Chain A
Amino acid sequence: MQLDAKVPGGPLETKWDTHRFELKLVNPANKRKFSIIVVGTGLAGASASASLAELGYQVKTFCIQDSPRRAHSIAAQGGINAAKNYQNDGDSIRRLFYDTVKGGDFRSRESNVYRLAQVSNAIIDQCVAQGVPFAREYGGLLANRSFGGAQVSRTFYARGQTGQQLLLGAYSALSRQVALKKVTLYTRRDMLDLVLVDGKARGILVRNLVSGEIERHAADAVVLATGGYGNVFYLSTNAMASNATAVCSAYRKGACVANPCFTQIHPTCIPVHGEYQSKLTLMSESLRNDGRVWVPKNPGDKRKPEDIPESDRDYYLENKYPSFGNLVPRDVASRNAKEQCDLGKGVGDTGYAVYLDFRDAIKRDGKETIMRKYGNLFDMYQRITDDDPYQTPMMIYPASHYTMGGLWVDYNLMSTIQGLFVLGEANFSDHGANRLGASALMQGLADGYFIIPYTMGGYLAGTGVKPVSTDHQEFKVAEDAVKAKIKNLLSINGKRTANDFHRELGKIMWDYCGMARNNEGLKSALKKIGALKGEFFENVKVSGTDREFNQNLECAGRVADFLSFGELMIEDALSRQESCGGHFNEGFQTGENEAMRDDANFSHVAAWEYKGEGLPPMLHKEPLVFENVKLSQRSYK
């Protein structure tokens, strides 16, 4: 297999324009003859479905939840970036491009990131036209806030619910197309396999989660927008149904997975407090504007925070990074919290937490001001922990939050399978080895509103697609395989629940492939996961039958795929013998314990090809060429 990113020639600034001109167009009357499957209704899937339907294509849209409005994008809090420069503070497309490439520790594709910055402004226009109630200034114009990794104020927001409002905007555009009968909605469906005919993506198999039936759906092209795989860590800020199953099914059919070891651990989440815990809750990054992070100076100091005098506190971020202080990027903040806890200075019942203290901010600005800024976050914190952050410092700890890795795509967002496009968090995307805050929402909507409508046309006009029916042999073969898998899961009848296996996998991934990794640990994790996977298929207990509403069966299928995906992540982490962004291998660090890249040997995208069950995957490298930015060591001192 030859990876071809299909990056257009010419200067960075005109690549997208030139490309759009060169892409073939589908005649308007012919568009209705083409059908497209879109899996996922998050920002990426909903915006893609609506935009493709508006152009005239027949769209079939699928999601797991009972309504497209519930996709995990709904939970995004902080905001969405755009290079509007409404603040006149020196922002530009060029600067957003540069910040994103640098923030990603120079492991993303220049051409894609530049295009992302170029279309970012149109996203804000589109959302406002849909009636998204962004925050505004007294004069009635849009307000902005600042986020980590940038020195300009370019983040648009709707209180702490930006994702909700953007998703409801895309959902409303989608709903309009449903009413116009251009989109057919299939909710409570779980995609279990991708179907290829003559080497092209031509359909999917889904399990109807209400009836349990396996359904076949055919189309001229397939778009996956199924989100990230952060739940491989079991505990994460992702929603419970976020999964790797759709991505794994494409991988097994020949789509390469790129940089799976690039995962983002967000520094400010509510810490784990018990074995029964099912998920972790994010506390917005914006809190680090006013909260000061600290731990006791002496390991094992069990005094209450208010009893620890100033002289016995270590404000480790401020001390170590005087110029960025508490506002260092996510990967750096997370790693430092772990380091402190590993030194025995962690706080709380488990010792895996650090303080985020608002005492000084309250003293300085008054409780009123702090309440106005962070009131609902403080309330949420109190509701979960029963502690009052106005009185006592918050306790926070890093948690799995976002995945930069995903299915490899070319400049057209097409995977290594012809006719299979991948959007949003599910692709390996534009964020390199670390994503900046407020850039995932931007990327999801860029992909769906402004990129796929063009590149899909180019594909359909450029390659003849013959009609395919769901009676085709390939559908039957795939359906038989899926049914056999389900039957197997139900027949094992062992002694452990799927959830229990998932929890153990999560712990292995977190310990060995989390914030800090090393070769020895990774190798042992590979063995542990192999053993766990073996046990899973001998000892899992799944209740009920396949022909009914069966949440336990859904869960078991997902855990099986997470086990395979976890192995792939570790393979990738082991083969990348450098540190960059979220991938921190302890063997490669600077004298000051920062990530040390190896640009000579690892300035590439690692794309993994499936070679069969039990066989090692094959690595393909897409070299990353930087013509417009100078590679440098990130410094936040």
Chain B
Amino acid sequence: MSTGEHMEKKINLTLKVWRQNGPDRIGTFETYPAKGISKDMSFLEMMDVVNEQLILDGHDPISFDHDCREGICGMCGAVVNGRPHGPLPGTTLCQLHMRSFDDGDTVVIEPFRSRAFKLIKDLVVDRSSLDKIIQAGGYVSVNTGGVPDANAIPIPQENAELAMDAAQCIGCGACVAACPNASAMLFVSAKVSQLALLPQGRPEAAKRVLSMVTEMDHQEFGNCSNERECEAECPKQISIVNIARLNREYLKAGFFSNEK
């Protein structure tokens, strides 16, 4: 389609949004009209329009997390019509555009739900449990300074590319929201894989995988039972091949290392 020929530009929608003013309050779905929405708007811009009206009408606007609005910071995310980040594969909520919806649609919007993500308000949840998993070992233990020249260790291009595929995870937590067990396995496996594929990550590989998986359990994420929902909903299309790699690393670590 070329310029100026875009299909019908404006649509009217009905939103059903989860409203909950704090973790200890009772939440409900509230209904709001979203009128005259341009199909060129992003989903979050549509939410802005609804919120501006709510503010002017003296109501509490809908709280939702967002920042970069270009699909990279991992801050946004909600379950839209049953799917984390909405209907479009490989797309964060902020990059979803209203042309994915039709005039007259009802759109159901809920927060990412999981034991490990405590609700803060409306669509905003606390995902600091993901940071805790990284703190448990998602790094190479080097201090600033005193490291070798960047070209001292050549790395086969395909390994660098595979590491980069895994490293693209934006830490949004959609995989957790999608998983019937609320497992964070895809997220954990992305970091474990990235570092396991690179020589810099090898010295601590065994310790890393054991402590990150232990921390995941500790943070009340569930276990992985190969449902594959995570891969289907991941906006960065992180592959479950990474989970297989994590499992191998985990077995190796259990057999050969003294780390507990």
Which residues from chain A sit less than 8 Å from chain B, CB to CB?
Answer: 47, 50-51, 54, 65-70, 72, 74-75, 84, 86, 122, 124-131, 133-142, 158-159, 161, 164-165, 168, 171-173, 175-176, 178-179, 185, 187, 210, 239-241, 273-274, 276-279, 281-282, 304-306, 348-349, 380, 383-388, 391-392, 395, 449-450, 453, 495, 497, 499-500, 541-544, 548-549, 551-552
Contacts and interface: CB of A to CB of B under 8 A. Distances in A.
A142 B150 contact: yes
A392 B68 contact: no
Given A130-B200, A176-B141, A349 B75 contact: no
Nearest to B126: A66
Nearest to B137: A179
A552 B70 contact: no
Contact of B73 (A65, A210, A348): A65
Contacts of B164: 133, 135, 158-159, 165
17 contacts: A47-B144, A54-B144, A66-B65, A66-B127, A86-B151, A164-B168, A172-B134, A172-B138, A241-B67, A274-B38, A304-B2, A304-B3, A380-B95, A383-B95, A387-B3, A450-B145, A543-B60
Contacts of B144: 47, 50-51, 54, 126, 173, 449-450, 453
Contacts of B72: 74-75, 161, 164
A276 B171 contact: no
B225 interface: no
Contacts of B121: 548-549
Nearest to B147: A129
A489 to B, nearest CB: 13
B142 A65 contact: no
Interface stretch (B11-19, B102-110, B153-161, B216-224): B153-161
Contact of A499 (B4, B48, B91): B48
> Nearest 9 A-B pairs (CB), nearest first?
A140-B154, A172-B139, A129-B147, A133-B164, A133-B163, A128-B150, A51-B144, A179-B135, A70-B73
Contacts of B127: 66-67
Contacts, number: 230
A165 B166 CA distance: 11
B142 A70 contact: no
B255 to A, nearest CB: 24
A134 B160 contact: yes
Nearest to A384: B97
Nearest to A64: B67
Interface in B13-67: 21-22, 38, 40-42, 44-45, 48-49, 51-52, 54-56, 58-61, 63, 65-67
B74 A69 contact: yes
A348 B167 CA distance: 37
Interface residues of B, number: 82
B75 A387 contact: no
A543 B68 contact: no
A133 B160 contact: yes
A131 B200 contact: yes
Nearest to A210: B120
Contacts of B2: 304-306, 387, 391-392
A161 B71 CA distance: 11
A137 B160 CA distance: 10
A444 to B, nearest CB: 14
A100 B6 CA distance: 44
A158 B194 CA distance: 13
Contacts of B40: 273-274, 385-386
Contacts of A68: 131
Given A159-B164, A239-B67, A131 B4 contact: no
B99 interface: yes
Contacts of B154: 136, 139-141
B181 to A, nearest CB: 23
Given A131-B195, A277-B45, A495-B56, A551 B200 contact: no
A545 to B, nearest CB: 10
B97 A383 contact: yes
Nearest to B91: A383
B75 A168 contact: no
B143 interface: yes
B64 to A, nearest CB: 8
Contacts of A279: 69-70
Contact of B171 (A67, A158, A450): A67
